[in-house]
């Protein structure tokens, strides 16, 4: 199974995001609203026995619920090319704390440490060869985006099946926060 840990998002937020997405960047592959999520840790292809260890470790993790506010838009680039368009997150030490605990729990299960800095975001579109000028305009036009805060009461272990159009994400287990 190909696994990742993420926050799923309430529908009210998915609707807010889908109103932001969908137009203005020709060539963007917009993520279907059902697939919006905030990745806490990408795990990748995992044999069954390790998935079980991961589930046990995540079940044992204790952290408090908190409030999450999505705000701002930005892009990731690789080799000078834009690869993703995303909505950002307001500074949130409790989110960072949760991510940290998950990282520690997964390393104890034998996963290699994640070397990349945690940059919380919700991907709106994947990009290849989009007009950079249009992208800059889009980011400028939407930079003041700020959604209403939403409560985060659980995090989720997802499996992902890669598809031609969009991946199919399945919530395998939800872990309640205190
Ligand atoms: O949360 P976003 O959409 O930024 O791109 C994948 C997606 O990111 C990312 O994990 C999230 C859930 O699928 N992802 C896919 N392969 C990856 C890899 N090898 C990866 N992240 C890190 N390393």
The residue to mutate among 7, 29, 38, 42, having the most atoms of ligand 1 within 8 angstroms of its beta carbon, is 42
The residue to mutate among 39, 102, 103, 128, having the most atoms of ligand 1 within 8 angstroms of its beta carbon, is 39
What is the third-level CATH fold of 2-176? Cyclic Phosphodiesterase; Chain: A, (3.90.1140)
Q: Is the CB of 123 under 6 A from ligand 1?
A: yes
Report the DSSP pairing between strands 29-30 and 81-89. Answer: unpaired
Residue 155 token pair: 């995090």
CA distance to 19, 42, 57, per residue, from 54 (Å) = 35, 12, 5
> Is the CB of residue 10 less than 8 Å from the CB of residue 112?
no
Give me ligand 1 centre to Cα 60, in Å.
24
Q: Can you tell me which atom of ligand 1 is nearest the CA of 2?
A: 13
Query: pLDDT 10s per residue in the chain (178 long)?
Result: 999 999 999 999 999 999 999 999 998 999 999 999 999 999 999 999 999 999 999 999 999 999 999 999 999 999 999 999 999 999 999 999 999 999 999 999 999 999 999 999 999 999 999 999 999 999 999 999 999 999 999 999 999 999 887 899 999 999 999 9
Give me ligand 1 centre to Cα 16, in Å.
22
Rounded distance, CA 33 to CA 7, Å?
14
Neighbours of 74 (CB within 10 A): 14
> Is the CB of residue 174 less than 8 Å from the CB of residue 42?
no
Residue position matching structure tokens 């995540």: 58
What is the value of pTM for the model shown? Answer: 0.96
């Amino acid at each position: 199974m190909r696994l990742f840990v993420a926050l799923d998002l309430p529908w009210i937020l998915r609707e807010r995001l889908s109103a932001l997405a969908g137009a203005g960047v020709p060539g963007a592959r917009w993520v279907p609203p059902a697939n919006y999520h905030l990745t806490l840790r990408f795990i990748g292809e995992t044999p069954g026995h390790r998935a079980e260890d991961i589930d046990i470790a995540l079940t044992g993790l204790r952290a408090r619920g908190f409030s999450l506010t999505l705000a701002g838009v930005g892009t990731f680039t690789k080799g000078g090319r834009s690869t993703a368009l995303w909505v950002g997150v307001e500074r949130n030490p409790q989110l960072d704390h949760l991510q940290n605990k998950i990282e520690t729990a997964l390393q104890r299960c034998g996963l290699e440490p994640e070397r990349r800095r945690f940059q919380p975001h919700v991907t709106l579109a994947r990009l290849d060869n989009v007009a950079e000028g249009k992208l800059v305009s889009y980011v400028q036009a939407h930079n003041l985006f700020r959604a209403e805060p939403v409560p985060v009461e659980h995090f989720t272990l997802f499996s992902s099946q890669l598809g031609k159009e969009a991946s199919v994400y399945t919530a395998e287990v939800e872990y309640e926060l205190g």
